[in-house]
Every structure is written in structure tokens, then in C-alpha cells.
Chains A and B, each alone.
Chain A
Amino acid sequence: QSVLTQPPSASGTPGQRVTISCSGSSSNIGSNYVYWYQQLPGTAPKLLIYRNNQRPSGVPDRFSGSKSGTSASLAISGLRSEDEADYYCAAWDDSLSVYYVFGTGTKVTVL
């Protein structure tokens, strides 16, 4: 039931820059903030980006978020082995009622 579309996988070598896209619609990304969550293997998701491009304290500035129209993206610069994880975008959706939607998820592999 994912409403936001992400590529299933992305990869890079240590030090490279990786970008993950998140495509939505006017009722979610187009009119609300975008969030990004990181899920390391076997753990609960953790907030990575809020309000499109804000980092919670403790999140390295290698992670950055952006939004344009009905799409958003997460960039990881200076890729590190510990960045290998699943990444999910999310947003509130105002279409039928007000509810939260997640992306399909992207597995980032560090080669």
C-alpha cells in the first residue's frame, strides 16, 4: 500500500555520493513535508531528515534532503560502510483523509 515510489536499490563505493529519489503526488509530497528514515539491519527505523531538509541532532551532515514539486531526494555524500541500510521516505497525505504514507524503500549497498 506504499503511495510513495522509491528505487528498490542503490549502491556506491566508500566515499562516493549516492542519491535516492522519492516520487509522490500533489496530496502528499506536493503539499506536505517530507521525512526520511534509516533502518539498519535488524533494528527499528530512525529519523534521518525532517521537514524536507532538516537533520536531527546527531545525524551527520553527509545526509541531506531536498524537495521539488511532488518529488524528494536523499543524498548521502562520503558514503561509509555503516550507511548500508534501508531508507524510507514519508509524508502526510491529504487525499481521502489525513494519513501518513511511506515510500517503497531503498536498500543502499556499500560496495
Chain B
Amino acid sequence: QITLKESGPTLVKPTQTLTLTCTFSGFSLSTSGVGVGWIRQPPGKALEWLALIYWNDDKRYSPSLKSRLTITKDTSKNQVVLTMTNMDPVDTATYYCAHEYYYDSSGLNWGQGTLVTVSS
């Protein structure tokens, strides 16, 4: 059974850097075809895809946010970390991590999400 859980600060100040961790079980990021990504959803708004990292360290980023995002993996800890620089109140959102299996295009399996508020 695949499970993912997001963790990180619930409150960050404008201009600070956000660091979120996705801890997962039920699969390994060293397995060919596996990917873990991040998606966010501002309150009352639509989903927005942010970034994804694959088993081979291939990384994909949203073009509009690429300059602010870094995604990394720690295979031994079953974790993926997302950092977002220069946080702004408009970045207030629930942040989700999700699993993808590249080879069968079977869609995203989601974590429960974590709400991050940006405020001074």
C-alpha cells in the first residue's frame, strides 16, 4: 500500500524559504519508473503542479515557478524535499506530494496535504 505524508512549517514569513518534506512508504525511489512530485492548492482555488523527481534523478519543474523551486530525494530515508524561495502571501496553500509510476501512466497517488500560511 502506497502512502505519502507531507511535513514542514505551517507558518512562514514573506521572503523566507519554505522547506517541505514528503515521507513515503510502499515503494522505493530507487525503483525504475518511480517518481514523486508536489502540487499545491490555494484556499478555494484550483490545483497547481509544482515539481517532480524521478528514480534516475530526472527533475521536472513548473515553468512559471522554476526559478524558485528545488526538488531533491533521499532514497535511503524514503523522502523527497521541496524548497521554495522568496515566499509571498500568494503562496499560501495546501501542499500535496504524490507518487507517479512513469512506465504505466497510471496517474498520481496523493498524500493528505499540509497547509502552509505565508504571513508576517
Partner of B63, one of A35, A46, A97: A97
Q: Are A44 and B106 in contact (CB under 8 A)?
A: no
Question: A105 CA to B105 CA in the complex, in Å?
Answer: 21
Q: Are B111 and A44 in contact (CB under 8 A)?
A: yes
Partner of A99, one of B46, B62, B106: B62
One digit per residue, 1 when the CB lies within 8 angstroms of any chain A CB and 0 when it does not, for chain B 91-117 equals: 000001000000001111111110000
Which residues of B have CB within 8 Å of A97? 60-61, 63
- Number of B interface residues in the complex (CB < 8 A): 22
Partner of A37, one of B61, B62, B108: B108
Which residues of B have CB within 8 Å of A24? none
Question: A65 CA to B63 CA in the complex, in Å?
Answer: 28
- Number of A interface residues in the complex (CB < 8 A): 25
**Secondary structure type dominating chain B contacts:** loop
Q: Are A102 and B47 in contact (CB under 8 A)?
A: yes
Whether B55 sits at the interface, judged by CB under 8 Å, is no
Q: Are B61 and A45 in contact (CB under 8 A)?
A: no
In the complex, the chain A residue whose C-beta lies closest to that of B37 is A100
Whether A88 sits at the interface, judged by CB under 8 Å, is yes
One digit per residue, 1 when the CB lies within 8 angstroms of any chain B CB and 0 when it does not, for chain A 60-94 equals: 00000000000000000000000000001010000
Complex interface residues of chain B between 37 and 73 (CB less than 8 A to chain A) = 37, 39, 46-49, 52, 60-64
Q: Are A98 and B60 in contact (CB under 8 A)?
A: yes
Which residues of B have CB within 8 Å of A35? 107-108
B60 to chain A, nearest CB (A): 6
Q: Are A1 and B108 in contact (CB under 8 A)?
A: no
Which residues of A have CB within 8 Å of B107? 35, 37, 47, 49-50, 56
Contact residues of A with B, CB < 8 Å? 1-2, 33, 35, 37, 44-47, 49-51, 56, 88, 90, 96-105
